[in-house]
Amino acid sequence: VRLVCYESTQPELLARLAIHDLDLIFSDSPVSPDHQVRAYSHLLGECGVSLFGTQKLADSYRRRFPRSLDGAPFFLPTSTTVLRRDLDQWFEANEICPVILGEFDDSALLTVFGETGAGVFAAPDVIEKEIRQHYAVQVVGRIASLRVRFFAISVERKVKHPAVVAIAGAAREKLFS
The domains located in the chain, with CATH, are 10-45+150-175 (no CATH), 47-148 (3.40.190.10)
Question: What pTM, to 2 d.p., does this model score?
Answer: 0.87
Residue-wise pLDDT tens digits, 30-44:
998 887 888 999 999
Distance CA 42, CA 30 (A): 8
Q: How confident is the model at residue 5 (pLDDT cuts 50, 70, 90)?
A: confident
Q: Which residues pair with 152 in a beta bridge?
A: 26, 42
- Would you state the pLDDT for residue 29? 92
Beta bridge partners, 68, equal: none
User: What is the Cα 172 distance to its own chain's centre?
Assistant: 16
Lowest-confidence segment of 56-65, 87-96, 129-138, 160-169 by average pLDDT: 160-169
pLDDT of 57: 98
**pLDDT digits 0-9 by tens, 44-74:** 999 999 999 999 999 999 999 999 999 999 9
pLDDT on residue 79? 93
* pLDDT score, position 1: 66
Which among 74, 50, 37 has a CA at the least distance from the CA of 141? Answer: 50
The DSSP H or E segment spanning 139 is: strand 138-154
Kindly provide the b/e burial profile for residues 89-122, where b requires at least 16 CB atoms within 10 angstroms of the residue's own CB.
Answer: ebbeeeebebeebbebeebeebbeebbeebbbbb
Distance CA 73, CA 86 (A): 18
Can you tell me the mean pLDDT for 84-96? 98
Phi-psi region of 71 (alpha: psi -120 to 50; beta: other; left: phi over 0): left
pLDDT band at 177 (very low <50, low <70, confident <90, very high): low
Between the CA of residue 64 and those of 38, 61, 87, 131, what are the distances in Å? Answer: 47, 7, 18, 23
The H-or-E segment that residue 112 falls in is helix 107-115
Nearest to 58 by CA among 120, 16, 134, 115: 120
